[in-house]
Structure 1
Amino acid sequence: MGENAAPDFYYVAMDFGGHGLSSHYSSGVPYYHQTFVSEIRRVVAGGIVGGMFSCIFPEMVNKLILLDSPLLLLESNEVENLLTYKRRTIEHMLQVEASQEPSRVYSLKQLLQRLLKSNSHLNEECGELLLQRGTTKVAAGLVLNRDQRLSWPENSVDLVSRELYAHSIRKLQAHVLFIKAVHGYFDVRRENYSDKESLSFMIHTLKSTLKEQFQFVEIPGNHYVHMSEPQHVATIISSFLQHKHMLTAL
């Protein structure tokens, strides 16, 4: 998508620890979104992590783009399971570290089939793009770069209350663009998520607090629309970066 974006800006695509081409954390060190925020801080001197960074270091962010991702994750019914998640994080981490199994080698076809099976909204072309950064070539095929300790996303999620969410929004100094895919985040990432009221609350709070500093654009597509329709998304982002006027839905 970067090749279609406004040329007068410098774009950085980070691989957090345990992701893509970055190193894995040492044994005994868990993965948390707040840790990823500190990684951005080192680089700066995206998504939920970018939103958290913008609230913690508001003076460092002029414009924030949320690409089919909430600013922060609200606690919902899942808060009842929070301690279970914390326990499972520790147990899963210890289990993975104790196994000491060598990285399994796959063919590109095997990995692509596996990826598409677990992500029904992803097409083959986008799947191949994700695997380019998510794998490393070895003599017998490909190995996955992603740390096994990240296999359960909820283990690293930092849920916040509505009060903390509203307080965090008030700390923002950035202009915020929220691009929401019609069949996006809550459909792809949270297929069993039924409380859409939380998303409405988040958008309403952003609008009422940031006022003209907040822009919301809803576009056709799913969570991977930035990969399947990069020119469309890049046009919206470029307009936001280059101009101060409000955007209209395309």
Structure 2
Amino acid sequence: MLPLAYSSRWSRHSSPSPLGLLSELKLAVPWGHIAVKVWGLQKNPPVLCLHGWLDNANSFDKLIPFLPKDFCYVAMDFGGHGLSTHYSPGLPYYHHNFVSEVRRVVSAFKWTRLSLLGHSFGGVVGGLFACMFPEMVDKLILLDSTPLLMDLNEVENIMTYRRKNIEQTLKVEDSQKPPGIFSPEEMLHELLTKNSHLNEDCGELLLQRGTTKVAEGLVLNRDQRLSWPQYSFDFMGKELTMHSLRRLQASVLIIKALDGYYDVRRENDLNKASFLLMLDILRSTLKERFQFVEIPGNHYIHMNKPQIVADIIRSFLQGPPRTTPSRL
């Protein structure tokens, strides 16, 4: 648990919002701070929103105004992303570090129960948290994501993942390359070129929080060590995945975009077998506590079509709470 000082050493900036007061907070952590945005009254049931890899808390700006107003929504920037402090030199960005950050935020707000809303990698972080701390999570909402990362060839690949993570971290640290400076137009073009699922409006929204203005233009806020995400993830084999998912006490909703990350219509999609097996495990394990919805759209469906996504989330959030926890 965090000392009380962590929940009181906040800086705050507030502005009006359709859900009430929107606060910008900084939660103190040993390496600096975790930046969060808050919509609604903090006395309401909390929903912690977790963004995707290289994104930031602004990715929920379009969605949250359409969600039920009797909840408190908190969107955090993971370490090294958005307005949160970069990890200290020598400390790599491992998957479980982000799960630990979620626990720090939960402690700072003194929550005992909450719901989690995660997009992409944020969903994987939220899923792992819900498996580690099952008694704390009422509902888990995954946007084009899965609760865990399953690799059917884990025994073969795991050492390669770990080795490349270490090598890439050392390479970036040794290079000491200063961050690139771009004009707003160049920065947006670069982002949209690398991410075809984003439209211009959504790209600009992410860059508002993801860049800092300097005399010559804009620089990215995120840590350069985050450039190779696949080597920071914790993949699991089938048996460990099944064991972990059996610990879930939360109700789980997966909203899958038809043209998103997991496209089961493609015969050669390497993620297809793992994704379909994951769905089978969730259905058989959670039964009535699992919902799966497919909708037209791409990986950023929650930004491109927020009302459609919000309608699905609304009925799930306002549905009955969990009644029959799974056995640990």
Q: With the length of structure 1 as denominator, give the TM-score of the two structures.
A: 0.92
In the TM superposition, residue 76 of structure 1 has moved relative to its aligned partner by 3.3
Aligned positions, number: 242
Could you list the per-position Cα deviations for residues 81-103 of structure 1 after superposition, in whole angstroms to 9, with x for gaps in the alignment? 43233222212211211222322
Name stretches of at least 5 consecutive residues in structure 2 with no aligned partner: 1-62, 108-117, 322-328
Query: What's the secondary structure of 1:218's corresponding residue?
Result: strand
Structure 1 partner of 2:326: none
Question: Relative to 1, partners in 2 of residues 1:37 and 1:221: Cα closer, same or farther, differing over 3 Å?
Answer: same
Distance 2:247 2:167 in 1: 36
Pick aligned residue for 1:138 from 214, 220, 229? 214
Where do residues 54-203 of structure 1 align in structure 2 (5 Å cutoff)? 54-77=130-153, 80-187=156-263, 193-203=269-279
Q: With the length of structure 2 as denominator, give the TM-score of the two structures.
A: 0.70
Structure 1 partner of 2:128: 52
- Which is richer in helix? 1
Query: What's the secondary structure of 2:256's corresponding residue?
Result: strand
Distance 1:106 1:9 in 2: 39
Distance 1:241 1:4 in 2: 13
Is the counterpart of residue 34 in structure 1 residue 85 in structure 2?
no
In the TM superposition, residue 205 of structure 1 has moved relative to its aligned partner by 0.7
Distance 2:234 2:193 in 1: 27
Could you list the per-position Cα deviations for residues 25-74 of structure 1 after superposition, in whole angstroms to 9, with x for gaps in the alignment? 11111111111011100111231000000000000000110111011011
Distance 1:76 1:28 in 2: 31
In the TM superposition, residue 77 of structure 1 has moved relative to its aligned partner by 4.4
Distance 2:103 2:163 in 1: 28
Which gives a bigger RCO, structure 1 or 2 (Cα 8 Å, sep 6+)? 1
Name stretches of at least 5 consecutive residues in structure 1 with no aligned partner: 246-250
Contact 2:142 2:254 in 1 (8 A): yes
Distance 2:271 2:221 in 1: 33
In the TM superposition, residue 113 of structure 1 has moved relative to its aligned partner by 1.1
Query: What's the secondary structure of 1:28's corresponding residue?
Result: coil
